[in-house]
């Protein structure tokens, strides 16, 4: 049943972009890290960014009004909880994810034009540049997945494998969790060349470098490294059309050992496509950000897996987030 919206609720929803834009701009400017190191007035921060002094003061006051900053006598500082989340990168940080969401926000602003055209309207880099945007995207996946990875993979039963292939494994968050869960196993992480140094650093910090092979490539163009008996495809199928997913599944099947398994982590939609809500909204994110991506039902993924040589397709875990898991076995 549709919600009984009031006028005030509709207006509140229409204005909800405002606070998000303030936070996005602050993350793009890396303002929280600057202030976390040293409280300062607007004029000093504007010189360091560098940015316009008046505009910097307006942004800082908005952040203080939202309680994301403290303001005392014209000096701005970052409250401890905010500094922990946005004043640094690394364990427990959300800065990279907020920077990634800032890029998403710019694309969402083109939604009406995208619906008219039926395709994305182009992608402009942030003030930090394309390379920094890509790094933020890769690290953002760890911001979100790091705290949950150990628990999520436990839904794959049996959680046993000789060699894991982490397809599009980014900075290695999920590979670390799998290797911790199976101490006698090894892994291959496959991703774009830009992600490999970030993964190498993470595996070194985790003491797992000797158990991982790093393979640079593009799964849209290149074959996947062979020899694994478990392939992990995390938060990838929503980037693709169904045709692209079938081609990816064929490549995974070719890389897997006989009887090997694939585990897909993503949002699983109900047949109505209106639930879960997060999935319906994420389909919009894919509409404005990709040529053919979207969110898929279990039956659609089952059809695509079975059409590409997999069997015994089953839901290993289901929740209204990106952490539902579908598993299948190579025929």
- Lookup result for tokens 């970030």: 198
**DSSP H helical ranges for 165-323:** 173-181, 196-206, 242-255, 277-289, 298-306
Tell me what pLDDT residue 313 has.
Answer: 98
pLDDT per residue as tens digits for the range 55-67: 999 999 999 999 9
- pTM (predicted TM-score): 0.92
Is residue 268 within 8 Å of residue 315, measured between CB atoms?
Answer: yes
pLDDT per residue as tens digits for the range 253-276: 999 999 999 999 999 999 999 999
For residue 232, report the phi and psi dihedrals to the nearest 5 degrees. -110, 120
pLDDT per residue as tens digits for the range 165-219: 999 999 999 999 999 999 999 999 999 999 999 999 999 999 999 999 999 999 9
The domain locations on the chain are 7-88, 147-330
Tell me what pLDDT residue 295 has.
Answer: 98
What is the third-level CATH fold of 147-330? Rossmann fold (3.40.50)
CATH number of 7-88: 1.10.10.10
Question: CB under 8 Å to 289, separation ≥6 — which residues?
Answer: 104, 107, 120, 123
């Amino acid at each position: 049943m549709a919600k009984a919206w009031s006028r005030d609720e509709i207006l509140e929803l229409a204005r909800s972009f405002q606070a998000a834009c303030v936070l996005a701009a602050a993350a793009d400017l890396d303002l929280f890290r600057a202030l976390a190191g040293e409280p300062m007035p607007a004029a000093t921060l504007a010189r360091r960014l560098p940015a316009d002094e008046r505009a910097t003061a307006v942004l800082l006051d908005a952040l203080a009004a939202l309680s994301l900053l403290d303001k005392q006598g014209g000096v701005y500082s970052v409250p401890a909880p905010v500094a922990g989340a946005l004043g640094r990168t690394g364990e427990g940080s959300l800065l990279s994810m907020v920077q990634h969401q800032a890029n998403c926000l710019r694309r969402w602003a083109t939604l009406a034009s995208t619906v008219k055209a039926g395709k994305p309207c182009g992608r402009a880099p942030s003030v930090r540049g394309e390379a920094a945007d890509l790094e933020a995207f890769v690290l953002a996946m760890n911001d979100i997945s790091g705290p949950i990875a150990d628990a999520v993979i436990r839904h794959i039963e049996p959680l046993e494998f000789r060699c894991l292939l982490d397809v599009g494994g980014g900075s290695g968050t999920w590979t670390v969790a799998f290797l911790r869960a199976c101490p006698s196993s090894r892994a291959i992480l496959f991703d774009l060349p830009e992600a490999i140094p970030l993964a190498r650093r993470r595996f070194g910090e985790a003491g797992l470098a000797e158990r991982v092979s790093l393979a640079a490539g593009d799964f849209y163009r290149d074959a996947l490294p062979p020899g694994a008996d478990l392939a992990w495809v995390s938060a990838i199928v929503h980037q693709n059309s169904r045709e692209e997913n079938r081609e990816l599944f064929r490549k995974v099947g070719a890389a897997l050992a006989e009887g090997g398994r694939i585990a897909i982590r993503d949002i699983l939609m109900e047949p109505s496509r209106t639930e879960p809500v997060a999935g319906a909204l994420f389909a919009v994110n894919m509409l404005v950000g990709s040529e053919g991506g979207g969110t898929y039902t279990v039956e659609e993924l089952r059809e695509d897996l079975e059409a590409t040589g997999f069997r015994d397709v089953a839901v290993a875990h289901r929740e209204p987030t990106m952490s539902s898991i579908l598993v299948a076995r190579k025929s």
